[in-house]
Amino acid sequence: MLLREAGIEFVQESYDFNEDEIIAKTPKEFVYLATLGKYETNLRAFGCEDLALLVADTVVTAQGKILRKAKDEVEARDILLSQSGSLTSIITCMIYQSKAKKIIDISQTTYSFREFDRQDLEDYLKSGEWVGKAGACMVEGFCKNYIEEVRGFESTAMGLNIEVLKAFYEKLNPL
């Protein structure tokens, strides 16, 4: 959606990379290693001779913890409660590689969330919309109503700092 709205043509293909074996001391180190693993896996599969290659990954952090994708509803509840009424940072790393340029960017958006309403939280958990989301967090969905303050770009929190990518893309691909 972010690429489409930015007017960047793309073909979406991907080979999976197993993030479960990553050992990292900080959220930024984790997201960089995950993105690098995806980059290396997809570079081997697709190269970047004819098309540019773009990979990205996102991690959520609150109270000093890396909040991964929840495996079940109980874990999702715990993860979301750690974000309720606190600062939550969403860190996205992207690697863009074309014949002409390689760009690596790590961006962070930090949200100050009000306390989550318990019934609203339970409804969100029952909806299943949290499945597959880093930190079970949807700033464009459930969490949106609880945002008190934002520092950074919403696109970073949605998985790709489109503002940074678009600036480089337009320099490499002038009209």
Residues classed as catalytic: 57
- C-beta of residue 74 within 8 angstroms of C-beta of residue 97: no
- The phi and psi torsions of 30 (rounded to 5 degrees) equal -60, -50
Distance from the Cα of residue 64 to its chain's centroid: 17
Question: Any bridge partners for residue 107, and if so which?
Answer: 92
3-class state of residue 2 by DSSP:
helix
**Max Cα-Cα span within the chain:** 51
